[in-house]
């Protein structure tokens, strides 16, 4: 099959300088990821065409014919629907592609919206307040701030704006983080209840029915009650954390995690692949943090790649699982 690759490279994006946060490029990929995916697809017998992202993608997709697109494009700009951009164009042109559709991609980047949908489906999620402006923050009563609090941008991923100091014990601290984030990211912020407990990320693959790839616990090397799987930790993961997969948690908790992951995946309409993040409360309940329908596929450091590796899958098998699900779903 002739497979087009859509992606956004850090090197192709102009987002440097004082108008942008220092982590503005964090979600974008490096050429090594594209090479690894291409080589896996070629080893499966496909030919690949690099379509890229942004305007280059628009020029390429109208000039070249492909049977299917393997999409990992994060989209351009900072709006909450940016991940929907490329799939929306592909749908307009009638070209099948891997992964979730524009609605799911937009909905999942809007963390409060995703939390609402998942919560309505019966999955626990930390209580939250959405703050859209400094005026609204001033009006918020201290008693309305869940404590300890965790404060993060409402429409980001890839740990943008997530640091150790995102957690606050007191309302004044939470307000300060919220004020800083409102200014820095120019978008609403989410003030959530901080869940003290194990950090778990879950891979889900396929459709009708989707299945669990693995349940991976992220364990800080330095025991700490206030652990945050922050940008700093993700950048230095080799020294700061251990990954345990399958997670060694009580059977009953593992069952709950599995059930909640599949329920969240279905409720949000995810397709082909996603990674779902949870914290496990002291009550043994998995609290849904967010879902990543475009999980990082870096062949060395991607969480879902590490997880599937620990479950015995090669990188090629992971890519085969994603593209296979897309081909079957698209009846190709």
Ligand X SMILES: Nc1ncnc2c1ncn2[C@@H]1O[C@H](COP(=O)(O)OP(=O)(O)OP(=O)(O)O)[C@@H](O)[C@H]1O
Q: Residues in the site for ligand X, rule: CB under 6 A? A: 126, 150, 152, 156-160, 162, 192-195, 199, 228-229, 277, 279, 289-290, 292
Residue nearest to ligand X (CB): 229
User: Which one of Mg ion, ligand X, none is in contact with 26 (Cβ closer than 5 to 8 A by kind)?
Assistant: none
Minimal distance in Å, beta carbon 323 to ligand X? Answer: 22
Nearer to ligand X, 178 or 195 (CB): 195
Nearer to ligand X, 4 or 302 (CB): 302
Nearest to 247 by CA among 196, 212, 195, 207: 212
Nearer to ligand X, 92 or 224 (CB): 224
Nearer to ligand X, 60 or 230 (CB): 230
User: Which one of Mg ion, ligand X, none is in contact with 187 (Cβ closer than 5 to 8 A by kind)?
Assistant: none
Say how many residues make up the chain: 332
Minimal distance in Å, beta carbon 330 to ligand X? Answer: 26
Q: Which residue in the set 205, 277, 280, 319 belongs to the binding site for Mg ion (CB under 5 A)?
A: 277
Nearer to Mg ion, 234 or 271 (CB): 234
Minimal distance in Å, beta carbon 312 to ligand X? Answer: 23
Minimal distance in Å, beta carbon 187 to Mg ion? Answer: 17
Minimal distance in Å, beta carbon 63 to ligand X? Answer: 33
Scan residues 31-50 and list those touching Mg ion (CB under 5 A): none
Minimal distance in Å, beta carbon 160 to ligand X? Answer: 6
d(CA 306, CA 303): 5
Nearer to ligand X, 287 or 315 (CB): 287
**Sign of torsion over alpha carbons 274, 279, 280, 283:** negative
Site for Mg ion, rule CB under 5 A: 277
């Amino acid at each position: 099959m002739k497979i087009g690759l859509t992606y956004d490279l850090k090197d192709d994006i102009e987002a440097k300088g004082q108008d942008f946060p220092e982590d503005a490029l964090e979600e974008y990929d490096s050429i090594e990821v594209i090479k690894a995916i291409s080589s896996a697809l070629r080893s499966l017998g496909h030919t690949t065409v690099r379509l890229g992202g942004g305007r280059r993608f628009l020029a390429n997709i109208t000039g070249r014919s492909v049977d299917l697109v393997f999409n990992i494009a994060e989209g351009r700009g900072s709006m909450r629907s940016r991940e929907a951009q490329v799939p929306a164009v592909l749908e307009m042109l009638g070209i099948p592609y891997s992964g979730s559709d524009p609605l799911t991609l937009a909905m999942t980047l809007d963390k409060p919206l995703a939390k609402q949908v998942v919560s309505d489906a019966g999955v626990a999620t930390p209580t939250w307040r959405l703050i859209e402006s400094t005026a609204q923050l001033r009006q918020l009563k201290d008693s309305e701030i869940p404590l300890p609090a965790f404060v993060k941008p409402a429409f980001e991923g890839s740990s943008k704006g997530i640091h150790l100091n995102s957690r606050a014990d007191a309302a004044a601290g939470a307000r300060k983080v919220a004020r800083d984030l409102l200014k820095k990211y120019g978008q609403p912020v989410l003030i959530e209840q901080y869940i003290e407990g194990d950090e778990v990320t879950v891979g889900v693959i396929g459709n009708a029915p989707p299945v669990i790839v693995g349940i991976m616990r992220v364990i800080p090397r330095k025991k700490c009650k206030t652990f945050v799987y922050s940008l700093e930790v993700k950048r230095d993961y080799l020294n700061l954390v251990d990954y345990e997969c399958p997670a060694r948690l009580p059977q009953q908790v593992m069952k709950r995690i599995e059930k909640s992951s599949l329920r969240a995946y279905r409720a949000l309409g995810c397709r082909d692949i996603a990674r779902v993040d949870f914290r496990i409360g002291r009550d043994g309940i998995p609290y849904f943090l967010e879902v990543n329908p475009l999980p990082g596929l870096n062949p060395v450091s991607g969480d879902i790649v590490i997880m599937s590796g620990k479950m015995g899958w090669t990188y090629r098998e992971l890519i085969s699982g994603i593209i296979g699900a897309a081909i079957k779903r698209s009846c190709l």
